[in-house]
Structures are given as structure tokens and as C-alpha cells.
Amino acid sequence: MLKVENLSTNFYTFRGVVRAVENVSLELEKEEILGIAGESGSGKSTLAWSIMGMVPPPGRIVSGRVTIDGVEVTRLSDTELRRKVLWKKVSMVFQGAINALNPVYTIGYQLAEPFIYHTGLSKKEALDKAKSLLPMVGLSEEIAKRYPHELSGGMKQRVVIAMALALEPTVVIADEPTTALDVVVQAQILNLLKKLKREKKLSFILITHDLSVIAEMSDKIAIMYGGQIVEYGTSEQIFNNPLHPYTRALLRSIPRLRGPIDKLQYIPGEPPDLISPPRGCRFHPRCSEVMDICRDREPVLVDTGEKHLVRCWLYDESWKKRG
Amino acid sequence: MAMENGNILEVEGLRVWFPIRRRLSELIARKPPRYVRAVDGVSFNVKRNETFCLVGESGCGKTTTGKALLRLVPISGGSAYFQAREEILEELSRRGIKVGDDGRVDIFGIPPSKMKPLRREIQMIYQDPFGSLNPRYKIGAILEEPLKIHNLHLTRDEVEDLIHRVLEEVRLTPPEDFVDRHPHQLSGGQRQRVAIARALILKPSLIIADEPVSMLDVSIRAEILELMGMLKEREGITYIFITHDLAVARYICDRIAVMYLGRIVELGDARRVIEDPKHPYTKALVAAIPEPDPRNRLRIRNVPIKGEIPNAANIPPGCRFHPRCVAYDENRERLGERCRVEEPPYFTVERGRVVSCWLYEHFS
């Protein structure tokens, strides 16, 4: 369905080259949700933009391939990309998208736009089509006549989701879809996404810094740190048997609602500067289990069995053998 | 001299109503003025050296309550008796403020122009460490500003010594490295520590922390929370901690007050309230919070609440939660029309735990 192979994206800034995404590979199957978790600056949003082929300047995809439904997105021109791929095969619910609704157009018109431009429907047909999308996301058709300022945050988020689903794409990328919302509304939106996944057999890439939301939704999880995937596995593997010291520390830092109150752990130090990342493993300055080799050589992703990948020397036997 | 019950602050019936500008037609028709009732009758006590939490969704009035205690918003009614230090009380009486014999002073009784001495006692930490520090000031100058404003008659050496000490206290070490930096050269966590240092430098006894960790990455949140806990132990600070995150509240708060549409609906021991919520709104809030358990993805989360949060300019009559209350529908026979007409008082359901819901009337 969706395949990302060795994707790297750089930003060329005055201060130097920012390696925002480095050598990322992942796969998404039908009716599957892949969660991408990481802190601010870990490259998760840039990864999403790269998959869409819409990296904003001064950023550029420097290597790697993205294939969606057999079409190699990374080789298309901008025009081809817009005509054939965006919104039809892959669409995105952007971070803070509720603020991206145009305040001077009605919800119905904004929902109708993709139909007018992509399928060549007349304005009236498109509007009817737009209306029919609203019940799918739990809104009444009457909302089509309203303007964005008349809706609550949760309703706007539903509209934005409806927009992303308008042309029935195979993959939807949701970048922090619930971050600005209150918990009750967040739960409703997450329920909606679960329902859509089941009923429409949709595939999602869910990007968030909130591990609880990731757990709530994802079948597979990729943990990103400093532009790289450091651990990749099924939801159960990541949460029940985290391997990378970063993942472990991250999981110990979340306050929980139930169970014993253990002392919360934190990760000392700061995320790496991606213009001049630390030598060796990018996490080594903050790692509690750092070894000599970590300061010197960069680890690669190794499979520890059952497709549970981790980028850490603790699990890579190859260097020991070579001495 | 302390209040006998050990309370540092006693808030009673706090109201913050913002008037809505009337249209010309309304003026001509002599319609009564309308208000956004941001805080609508909030009462609570804060014990010395505890962490008291105000939780709720956006728009519930938790931040406005915090701001009201510093007189940063106009107060429409209520009282807030605060137990201040001796020197602050003297300073206040010198300015002609009446101070009770018990050393209590009503924050809302002081004209805003004479609030200054009290601000040494009550400090605030804001949510956004990117917006709350002046980008043109160096860290040293940011920390010096409160000392200048409050005119503490310190020598240059004393000021520098104080700045260094407070930076060490928030673990920005060595302090010499930080005084000459600008905020943009620091990470989010470091900036929030500067904000804490700025609040600490006046040695306040009460700190109002408004979502101090919401903007920070998870991996460093715990560090800031731990720092705040350490300062509580060492400096005897009392916190009013404002947050939307019940899980965070469970870890650091002693007592918790859940707010909905400008009113406290449930108040009690933090762990008890979260682990065994009584008010239908608290129940919904707790049920809505995602947990890091991969099994959750297989189920649709049941959040017992209907509709959307009403506008604070148009608060429903009776219990303000009744239009969204699932328990109201389920217990219609027992409750009758009561929830729609009469605002529920606070019923004590267990020691130190009150709930504003007619379901618990039999506890009165």
C-alpha cells in the first residue's frame, strides 16, 4: 500500500544543513494505523510532508523512495503529484488544521472544493456531495451552510477530517489531529477515526508526541529521535517490551491515570542539534546505558526477531564479534 | 499567627463576570446587561504547603480564577483571605490597607494600585515559556527585574548573589553560563526553569502555576514537575496548579478541584477524585483520557457525556451540567425536574470531598 524506503530530507538553512529525516523506511498495510511518535524536532512532521511530496523550502528530499499504491510519488513532478496523488491517494489532516479553514467561505463550499478541482463536478453537484460527507464524521448536513467561526473546535476538526476523506484516499496522514482539543473532544475524535478505519477500511499514519494517543490507536509504532527511527514494532512490542533506552525512558516519563504512582523519570539533557548531531549514536549524550562504541559509531536498525527493529548497540551483536 | 486551620488562602464566592457590549437596540429597549460568567461562584481553601489543583477543560474558568487571585482580571464579587508574611502585612498597613488581627488580608478588598506588596507573596508561572520571557533581555536582566520593581534596596553584589543562588536552585548551573544568555538560546525546559526562577526570586509563599508543563516535551515534563516538588519541600511553597491533564494532577497534587463552566463541581483528595470520581462530569473526564495501553485500540472508548460545552454567556439554568449529563437521563425518575431548575449545593460524600450534584443529596 504505502512504502517508504530510505527516505532522507534535508533543510538547507543559513546555519547549515539540517538533516531532519534520515534514512527512514516504513510500510503501511491496508486498514492499518501506523503511529509515529517523537518529541518536537524529531522529524515526524517533516516525514509526513515528505511522504506527501510537499516539503516546504528550503527543505528537499535528498534520497529515498515513497511508493503509494504502486505509484512512485518521489519521481512525479509537482503537477503530476497534484493531479494524480494528493487527496486521491494520500491526504493529510494538518497540525492545527482547524485554524486553516477559510473564515469567509461556508463549510459546504470548502468541502466542495476538492470535488470541483479534482473530479470536475459542477458547483451544485459538488455541494451535494460535500453535504453527504458530513454525516460520516458525525455532523448534520445543516453544518454545510455555516461558517467556521460558528463551529466549536471539535466540529472544525471533524470538518477537516471529512475534507481529508473527500476523495476517498487510500492513506490518510494525521499530524497531531487532537493536540489542540480538550480530552472529551479528543476521545470523540479518536473514536471517529477508529470507526472510519473499520468501516471505510482506511489506513492511517498518525503522528503525535502523545504516547497515550498512539497506544489508543496504532497497530504499529515507529519511535523517532533526532530524525531517525530508533525503534519500530507492533503496538504490543513497543509498549510491553520496549527495547531502546529512549523508548523505555519515554514510557517511564508518562504520568498514568491508574495503578501505583511511581516516581516519574525524565531524560536529562536536550534533543540533538540536527545541524551537527552528536558523533556515534544520536541519543548517547542522554542515554543511561551508554557504552564506548555508542560515542564513536552510529548504530543501525537491527531486527531482534518478529520484525521488532531497534537502533541501538545493546542489541547489535555484530561489533562484539569483530571485536 | 497562622490561620488556625492551617489555610494560607480562603476563597469564597469568587465571581468574574465580563460584560458583553450591548447593541444599540438592546440599549434602547433597556434590556438588562449580559455577562460572560467566566468564574461564577467559586469557593475553596488552600492549605499551607500543599499543591492544590484546578482542573477542567478550556473555558471552564480555571485560568481566570488564578488570574483573579493576582488581580489581573476585574473581580465581580467574592472574597479571598490570604495569610501574608509579617513584613508584607506591615507594608500593606503602611499603605492604608486594613489587615485583620489574625494576619489575614482580603485580596479582593485591596485596590489594584496597592496590590504591589502582595505580589511578592503570590507569583505566577505561565504556560508558554516562549512567550513569557522578554526576548530582548538577558536571563540576568529577566531575573533582576522583579527585584527592581519591588525596590528591595539591595546592593549590586547582593543582587548578583541572589540571581546566582536562584539559578542554582532551578538547576541552571553553572549560573555564570546562563546570566548572559538570551531566552532564544535556551531550550523550552530551560526557559520554563528561568520562569520558575523569576517567580522564586522574591521568595513568595504561594505560586500559581498555569499549565507549566503543557508546552514541554514529555521527556522533560517530569523534570520540571520534580523541580517544583523539590522547591515545595525545601522552601515550603504552596502551589495552585492549573492544568487540564488529570494524569499530571494525580502525580503532583494533594487536592483537586474539578471545574465546569465557571464552577467547581467536585473537590477532594486528588487520588480519590481521579480513582473514584463521583460527579458525572468528572466521570466523563476520567473516562476520556487515553492511557498508554495497546489493548485500547481494539475498543471504542465510552465517554458518558452528551453534546458540546455551552457558551459561558448563556449558562443553562439549574445544574449547569444537566444538558450534557447522562446520569440525569438515567435517574430521571429519582431526580425529577430538579436538575433543570435548582443549582445543586455541595454535598459532602466523604471526609474532605464535596460534590455539587443532586445524585448525592442523601449525603446531606
A4-53 confidence digits (pLDDT tens):
999 999 999 988 899 999 999 999 998 899 999 998 889 898 999 999 88
Give the pLDDT confidence score for residue B162 in this predicted structure.
Answer: 93
Instruction: Say how far apart CA A68 and CA A52 lie, in whole Å.
Output: 10
| CA–CA gap between residue B360 and residue B335 (Å, rounded) | 10
A209 → closest Cβ in B218, B296, B303: B218
Main-chain phi, psi angles of A135, to 5 degrees: -60, -30
| Residue from B193, B215, B217 whose CB has the most chain A CBs within 10 Å, to mutate | B217
Chain A residues touching B287 at Cβ < 8 A: 187
Q: What is the pLDDT of residue B201?
A: 93
pLDDT of residue B2: 45
Per the CB < 8 Å rule, is B57 touching A251?
Answer: no
pLDDT digits (tens, 9 = 90+) for B2-33: 445 789 999 999 999 999 888 888 888 888 88
Give CA–CA dist A204/A173, Å, rounded: 6
Taking an 8 Å cut-off on Cβ atoms, the answer to whether B58 and A184 are in contact is: no
Task: Give A223's strand partners.
Answer: A37, A231
The answer to whether B297 contacts A152, with C-beta atoms less than 8 Å apart, is no
Instruction: Tell me the CA distances in angstroms from B298 to A233, B50, B59, B291, one per residue in order.
Output: 17, 40, 32, 13
Cell digits for B15? 465571581
Type of residue found at B130: F
Model confidence at B347: pLDDT above 80: yes
Do B115 and B157 touch, CB atoms closer than 8 A?
A: no
CB contact under 8 A, A266 and B221: yes
Average pLDDT over residues A163-190: 88
Question: B161 pLDDT exceeds 50?
Answer: yes
Mutant choice from A152, A208, A216, A246 vs B, greatest count of B C-beta within 10 A: A216
Nearest alpha carbon to residue A35 among A229, A181, A274: A229
Is B293 a residue whose pLDDT tops 90? no
CB contact under 8 A, A39 and B221: no
In this prediction, residue B220 carries a pLDDT of 85
- As given in the structure block, the three cell numbers for residue B96 are 492604608
d(CA A92, CA B7): 52
Answer whether B292 sits within 8 Å of A212, measured CB to CB.
yes
Task: Note whether A257 contacts B293, CB cutoff 8 Å.
Answer: no
Q: B-chain residues within 8 Å CB-CB of A154?
A: 308
CB-CB neighbours of A102 under 10 Å: 12
The helix/strand/coil state of A198 is helix
Q: Residue A64: pLDDT above 50? A: yes
Q: Which amino acid type is present at position B84?
A: A
State how far residue B171 is from chain A, nearest Cα, in angstroms: 12
Burial status of residue A252 (CB atoms within 10 A of its CB: 0-12, 13-18, 19 or more): middle
pLDDT-derived band of residue B216, with 50, 70 and 90 as boundaries?
confident
What's the CA gap between A225 and B302, in Å, rounded?
Answer: 33
Strand duo A220-225 + A33-37: pairing:
parallel
pLDDT at position B343: 93
Q: pLDDT confidence of A263, banded at 50, 70, 90?
A: confident
In B, which residues are within 8 Å of A146 by CB distance?
none
Q: How far apart are CA B175 and CA B154, in angstroms?
A: 19
Task: Supply the DSSP string of B166-193, one letter for each residue.
Answer: HHHHTT--SHHHHHT--GGGS-HHHHHH
A52-55: long-range contacts at Cβ-Cβ below 8 A with a sequence spacing of 24 or more? A52/A86, A52/A90, A52/A92, A52/A173, A53/A78, A53/A81, A53/A85, A53/A86, A54/A86, A55/A9
| Residue-level pLDDT at B136 | 93
Residues of B within 8 A of A152 (CB-CB) are 308-309
Predicted local distance difference test score (pLDDT) of residue B215: 85
User: How close A86 gets to chain B, by Cα (Å)?
Assistant: 28
Classified as helix, coil or strand, B106 is: strand
What is this model's ipTM? 0.86
Overall average pLDDT of the B108-131 stretch: 90
State the average pLDDT over residues B60-71. Answer: 93
Cα gap A202→A31, rounded to integer Å: 5
Judged against a pLDDT cut of 70, whether residue A74 lies above it is answered with yes
Q: Are residues B228 and B209 in contact, defined by beta-carbon separation less than 8 angstroms?
A: yes
> Torsion angle of alpha carbons B14, B15, B16, B18, nearest 10°?
180
Between residues B31 and B349, the one the model is more confident about: B349
What's the pLDDT band for A241 if we cut at 50, 70, 90? very high
CA distance B33 to chain A (A): 23
Helices (H), chain A: 44-52, 78-80, 107-118, 123-133, 153-165, 183-200, 211-217, 235-240, 245-252, 292-296, 318-322
Residue A175: phi and psi, rounded to 5, are -100, 110
Tell me if B293 and A266 make a contact (CB, 8 A cut-off).
Answer: no
For A232, phi then psi, to 5°, come to -145, 125
- pLDDT tens profile A200-214: 888 999 999 999 999
Residues of B in contact with A253 (CB under 8 A): 218-219, 221-222
In the predicted model, is pLDDT for residue A318 greater than 80? no
pTM of the model: 0.89
* pLDDT for A230: 95
Q: pLDDT confidence of A321, banded at 50, 70, 90? A: low
Contacts of B44 by beta carbon, 8 Å cutoff, 6+ apart: B11, B52, B257, B264, B267
Distance CA B290, CA B273 (A): 17
The torsion angles phi and psi of A238, rounded to 5 degrees, stand at -70, -45
**Which residue does chain A place closest to B283, by CA atoms?**
A184
Q: Taking CB atoms and an 8 Å limit, are A183 and B289 in contact across chains? A: yes
Mutate one of B55, B58, B215, B219 to test the A interface: name it (highest A CB count within 10 A): B219
Does B247 have pLDDT greater than 60? yes
**Of residues B221, B246, B290, nearest to A216 (C-beta):** B290
Candidate from A179-183, A222-226, B202-206 with smallest mean pLDDT: A179-183
Nearest CA in chain A to B190: A270
What pLDDT does residue B4 have?
59
Mean pLDDT of A86-107: 86
Query: What is the rounded CA–CA span in Å between residue B24 and residue B28?
Result: 6
pLDDT (average), residues B44-62: 93
Pairing of strands A203-208, A220-225: unpaired
Residues of B with CB under 8 A from a CB of A: 57-58, 187-190, 217-223, 225-226, 244-248, 250-251, 271, 274-275, 284-294, 296-297, 300-301, 303, 305, 308-309
> Which of A218, A211, A221, A205 is closest to A310 using CA atoms?
A221
Q: Please tell me which of the candidates A186, A234, A266 has its beta carbon nearest to residue B222.
A: A266
Find out whether B228 and B30 touch, Cβ atoms under 8 Å. no
Which residue, chain included where needed, has cell 496504532?
A: A218
Q: Pick the more confident residue, B307 or B159.
A: B159
Query: Please, which pLDDT band fits residue A320 given cuts at 50, 70 and 90?
Result: low
Q: Do B57 and A183 touch (CB under 8 A)?
A: yes
DSSP string, B206-269: EEEEESTTTTS-HHHHHHHHHHHHHHHHHH--EEEEEES-HHHHHHH-SEEEEEETTEEEEEEE
Residue A117 pLDDT exceeds 90: no
Inter-chain contact A212–B275, Cβ cutoff 8 Å?
Answer: no
Do A22 and A2 form a contact (C-beta atoms < 8 A)?
no
Q: Which residues pair with A3 in a beta bridge?
A: A27, A67
Query: Which amino acid would we find at residue A124?
Result: K
Asked if the model's pLDDT at residue B212 lies above 50, the reply is yes
Q: Which grid coordinates belong to B80?
A: 479571598
> For residue A265, which residues of chain B lie inside 8 Å, CB to CB?
222
